[in-house]
Chains A and B, each alone.
Chain A
Amino acid sequence: GAVVSQHPSWVICKSGTSVKIECRSLDFQATTMFWYRQFPKQSLMLMATSNEGSKATYEQGVEKDKFLINHASLTLSTLTVTSAHPEDSSFYICSARVKGQGGGEQYFGPGTRLTVT
């Protein structure tokens, strides 16, 4: 149980275009989902916390107008990278916390590798 999927698994896009990444909890409901970014040989950095039915909470230094997050249902959150630039190329990973389950355990999606040319 507790499977999280992401789509697409990898994407190449041109500079200036927008890319949408989906994160789905397949067999559980997730009131809270998290979006991380990981650059090569660096740790995962939390970008934002996505709560179903409300606005996302962004970490310091993350532009909310550039990284649009929508958490429309208990099983789906989307991250849209708007006007992508080469420096946005990274590994984007989402995670979800099971509804009603406390503590720090989160289930991670397989990640989306974004390359902006």
Chain B
Amino acid sequence: RKEVEQDPGPFNVPEGATVAFNCTYSNSASQSFFWYRQDCRKEPKLLMSVYSSGNEDGRFTAQLNRASQYISLLIRDSKLSDSATYLCVVTITGTASKLTFGTGTRLQVTL
């Protein structure tokens, strides 16, 4: 079983739509959680950290459910520029610097 699992997509949505991505992690010792964004043939860039209390940054909302070992990302009012691959990333307790990446979920926002 992969340490971090994501639906690869692609998710094709019209501009203005709301879209949600899910991610599950297998290691209960996972400590920190992030969503990164990766454009085609580019490096990943941090989108937001994810906290148990949930956090929001503009049109983006991230949630963490430790009991279910589940992370989500909600994007409201999708823009064309949101088209990218969204990577779910976790770190494990005791290895705070080591990032474990999911394979990513590809989003394509269309007119």
- Give the tally of cross-chain contacts (CB within 8 A): 54
**Which residues of the partner chain B approach A103 to less than 8 Å between Cβ atoms?**
32, 96
Can you list, as one digit per residue, whether each of A86-111 has a CB less than 8 Å from chain B (1) or not (0)? 00000101010100001111101111
Determine the distance from Cα of A111 to Cα of B31 in the docked complex, in whole angstroms.
Answer: 27
CB distance from B45 to the nearest CB of A (A): 7
Secondary structure dominating the interface of B:
strand
Q: Please tell me which stretch of B13-21, B56-64, B69-77, B98-106 contacts chain A, meaning at least 4 of its Cβ atoms lie within 8 angstroms of it.
A: B98-106
Sample 12 A-B pairs with CB under 8 A, ordered by A number: A34-B99, A41-B8, A43-B4, A44-B44, A46-B99, A93-B43, A103-B32, A104-B91, A105-B34, A105-B49, A108-B43, A110-B42
Please report A residues at the B interface, Cβ cutoff 8 Å.
32, 34, 41-46, 49, 91, 93, 95, 97, 102-106, 108-111, 113
